[in-house]
């Protein structure tokens, strides 16, 4: 880390916290490098005639946007607005949405790598851990075939990274990152409201030592994490109400939203089992959770809250992108790797990463779009 020069006058790239790579230019190069395989994948998928239904839906919704129109009739059709607007602005239809997702994949993987590097994880283990998220069919599918789902997931990962810095290290820039990522995510994925609520609830658990004896710290943390997402959702609700007379019409129109097909409690149980099943095939998450439980049991509340939020989001019927839950759980596992892990823990994590990658390639459910995507790709 470069240190401050006199009186706080800083070089353009100097930041308060250690970064990796150290300069902005190198960080973007790494992001690009990590995104290149997914760009190639998007191009190959397109060449093989693989149709991305999610991205095509976005394109269709994007075409309804009438830029500069003063009546806003289209507002009811375009939620979530950010990926829809991106799709509308891109010239090449679903392929370009895939390319944008591919580039965003590079950003997500760099964020994960940076966190591991700063926590002094050995290079080989770092590579394997990043691969345990990135070298999986679900990640590849999401990034290249489901822009909205991937942006939601990527922002979830960014928010989680910020939350950990904010709550554990007291770094308010992390709070900015977490809150703003959730705010933007709210415009990409309605399930963000659930995530934001659980993130805010988890923060005091993660940072209980720091908050001890600090009146108002818990409500303040809650406000800082939740406010941007809440403001974004309320703002959008106001717009829809003002110009269409309805609120979140497109979300409510989804078949699954608040449907509870197996009854309220039955659905909740099923979704919980579904999330646990995904946890079972992400051993990195399991190991880091155990490590947290051994060191500081109360901090386990953080990852558990994240699982709970995923369960509740699925239970409420938010249309999570295919593979999104799995990738989020895998990302949490990497994010919560302990600082300066011992040799044994490093070996354990490296092995778990390899196992996780192998498990991710097993076609557990042939009907899933991810499985079909892989089959088409290698056909």
Tokens of 152: 């939601």
Q: Which of residues 148-187 bind other proteins (CB under 8 A)?
A: 171-173, 175-176, 179-180, 183
**Cβ contacts of 205 within 8 Å, gap of 6 or more:** 298, 299, 301, 302, 305
Residue written as token pair 């290698």: 378
In angstroms, give the least distance from the CB of 217 to other proteins: 5
Q: Using CA atoms, how far apart are residues 154 and 160, in angstroms rounded to an integer? A: 10
In angstroms, give the least distance from the CB of 158 to other proteins: 14
Please say which residue, 23 or 376, places its beta carbon nearer to other proteins.
23
Dihedral (CA of 113, 115, 118, 119) sign: negative
By CB under 8 A, tell whether 28 contacts other proteins: no
In angstroms, give the least distance from the CB of 189 to other proteins: 18
Phi-psi region of 296 (alpha: psi -120 to 50; beta: other; left: phi over 0): beta
By CB under 8 A, tell whether 23 contacts other proteins: no
- Among 20, 28, 208, 243, which residue sits at the site for other proteins (rule: CB under 8 A)? 243
Please say which residue, 116 or 232, places its beta carbon nearer to other proteins.
232
Dihedral (CA of 82, 88, 90, 95) sign: positive
- Among 29, 220, 293, 374, which residue sits at the site for other proteins (rule: CB under 8 A)? 220
Which class for 251: exposed (0-12), middle (13-18), buried (19 or more C-beta within 10 A)?
Answer: middle
Please say which residue, 165 or 278, places its beta carbon nearer to other proteins.
165
By CB under 8 A, tell whether 235 contacts other proteins: yes
Please say which residue, 238 or 364, places its beta carbon nearer to other proteins.
238
Judged by DSSP in three states, 227 sits in: helix
Structural contact between residues 174 and 210, judged by C-beta atoms closer than 8 angstroms: no
Binding mask 41-80 toward other proteins (x if CB under 8 A, else -) reads --------------------------xxxxxx--------
- Among 49, 123, 215, 366, which residue sits at the site for other proteins (rule: CB under 8 A)? 215
In angstroms, give the least distance from the CB of 17 to other proteins: 7
In angstroms, give the least distance from the CB of 99 to other proteins: 27
- Among 40, 53, 89, 231, which residue sits at the site for other proteins (rule: CB under 8 A)? 231
Structural contact between residues 34 and 201, judged by C-beta atoms closer than 8 angstroms: no
Please say which residue, 89 or 273, places its beta carbon nearer to other proteins.
89
Q: Using CA atoms, how far apart are residues 164 and 315, in angstroms rounded to an integer? A: 26
- Among 33, 51, 89, 223, which residue sits at the site for other proteins (rule: CB under 8 A)? 223
By CB under 8 A, tell whether 16 contacts other proteins: yes
Q: Which of 170, 220, 166, 158 is nearest to 195 (CA)?
A: 158
Which class for 51: exposed (0-12), middle (13-18), buried (19 or more C-beta within 10 A)?
Answer: exposed
Binding mask 195-214 toward other proteins (x if CB under 8 A, else -) reads -------------------x
Count of residues touching other proteins (by CB under 8 A):
44
Angle in degrees, CA 189, 191, 195, rounded to 5? 115
Please say which residue, 16 or 40, places its beta carbon nearer to other proteins.
16
By CB under 8 A, tell whether 219 contacts other proteins: yes
By CB under 8 A, tell whether 9 contacts other proteins: yes
By CB under 8 A, tell whether 344 contacts other proteins: no
The one segment of 108-116, 135-143, 226-234, 287-295 that binds other proteins by CB under 8 A? 226-234
- CB atoms inside a 10 Å sphere around CB 261: 10
Structural contact between residues 274 and 315, judged by C-beta atoms closer than 8 angstroms: no
Please say which residue, 69 or 262, places its beta carbon nearer to other proteins.
69
- CB atoms inside a 10 Å sphere around CB 189: 29
Q: Which of 128, 44, 76 is nearest to 244 (CA)?
A: 76
Using CB under 8 A, list all residues that contact other proteins.
3-10, 14-17, 67-72, 171-173, 175-176, 179-180, 183, 214-217, 219-221, 223-224, 227-228, 231-232, 235, 238-239, 242-243
């Amino acid at each position: 880390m470069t240190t401050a020069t006199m009186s706080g006058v800083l070089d353009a790239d100097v930041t308060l916290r250690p970064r990796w790579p150290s300069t902005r230019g190198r960080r973007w190069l790494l992001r690009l490098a990590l995104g290149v395989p997914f760009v190639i994948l998007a191009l190959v998928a397109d060449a093989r005639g693989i149709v991305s239904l999610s991205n095509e839906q976005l394109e269709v919704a994007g075409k309804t946007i009438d830029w500069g129109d003063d009546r806003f009739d289209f507002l009811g059709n375009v939620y979530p607005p950010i990926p829809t607007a991106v799709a509308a602005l891109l010239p090449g239809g679903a392929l370009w949405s895939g390319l944008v997702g591919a580039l965003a994949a590079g950003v997500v993987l760099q964020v994960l790598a940076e966190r591991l590097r700063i926590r002094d994880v050995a290079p080989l283990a770092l590579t394997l851990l990043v691969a345990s998220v990135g070298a999986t069919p679900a990640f590849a599918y999401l990034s290249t075939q489901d822009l909205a789902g991937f942006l939601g997931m990527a922002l979830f990962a960014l928010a989680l990274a910020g939350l950990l810095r904010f709550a554990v290290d007291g770094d308010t820039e992390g709070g900015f990152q977490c809150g703003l990522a959730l705010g933007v995510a709210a415009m990409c994925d309605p399930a963000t409201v659930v995530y934001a609520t659980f993130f805010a609830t988890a923060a005091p658990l993660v940072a209980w030592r720091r908050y001890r004896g600090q009146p108002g710290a818990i409500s303040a943390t809650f406000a800082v994490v939740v406010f941007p997402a809440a403001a974004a959702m309320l703002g959008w609700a106001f717009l829809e109400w003002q110009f269409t007379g309805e609120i979140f019409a497109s979300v409510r129109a989804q078949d699954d939203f608040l449907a509870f097909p197996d009854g309220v409690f039955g659905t909740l149980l099923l979704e919980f089992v579904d999330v646990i099943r995904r946890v079972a095939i992400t051993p990195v998450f399991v190991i880091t959770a155990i490590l947290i439980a051994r060191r500081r049991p109360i901090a386990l509340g953080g990852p558990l809250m994240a699982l709970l939020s995923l369960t509740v989001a699925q239970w409420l019927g938010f249309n999570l992108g295919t593979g999104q839950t799995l990738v989020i759980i895998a990302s949490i596992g990497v994010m919560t790797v302990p600082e300066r892990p011992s040799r044994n823990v490093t070996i354990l994590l490296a092995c778990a990463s390899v196992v996780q990658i192998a498990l991710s390639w097993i076609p557990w459910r042939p009907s899933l779009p991810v499985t079909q995507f892989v089959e088409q790709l290698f056909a």
